[in-house]
Structure 1
Amino acid sequence: MSFDELLKEMQGQKSIQEEPGFVSLDELCNDSFMSKYSNFATFEEFLVKGNFQVRTREDIQNIPDELFDRHIARETKFPDWESMLDTATKEHAGK
């Protein structure tokens, strides 16, 4: 399974019909967003740099907040995951 397929499955994109209005994480943290706010071209590169093993939806939810926030603070222009996700959501909504 490719990383893109994994992200889609992990984020429930395969069941969009069940959740209209759901925006997947790969849409929010797309390549343009990652290039603008980090030193990475993709969200996948960002995860790999942090040594995060993400194969399922639960994997990303199980990353300790403190560990993920530290990685985000070091590698992006955001202080934590909540700020990064909030900005990504606002930018996506503005499209």
Structure 2
Amino acid sequence: MPYALFCDDAKLSKSYPTEADVWKLAAESGLVTDVEAKDSKPAPRRVLDNDYEIRPCQAEPGECPEKNERDAQAEKDFQLALTG
């Protein structure tokens, strides 16, 4: 089942193969904040800003979550090559 970024019921991102893929893209976009852990956990926990959520979803007709993930990685690699 693919995953995407949502705010309320609005889908804000393309669909990606795993929840981890969406977390990674959200972090790279500056949408993730580390907050102090409660219950004496040793590490901070990650939360999404602005009431965003990552939820399972259906891919749009003709959309390929795996291709979206490959395209996002290629774009990141391209940006790194430009700045490197």
TM-score (structure 1 length as normaliser): 0.26
Q: More strand by proportion, 1 or 2? A: 2
Q: Give TM-score, length-normalised by structure 2.
A: 0.28
> In proportion to residue count, which structure has more helix?
1
Higher normalized contact order (CA 8 Å, seq sep 6+, divided by chain length)? 2
Greater Rg over alpha carbons, structure: 2
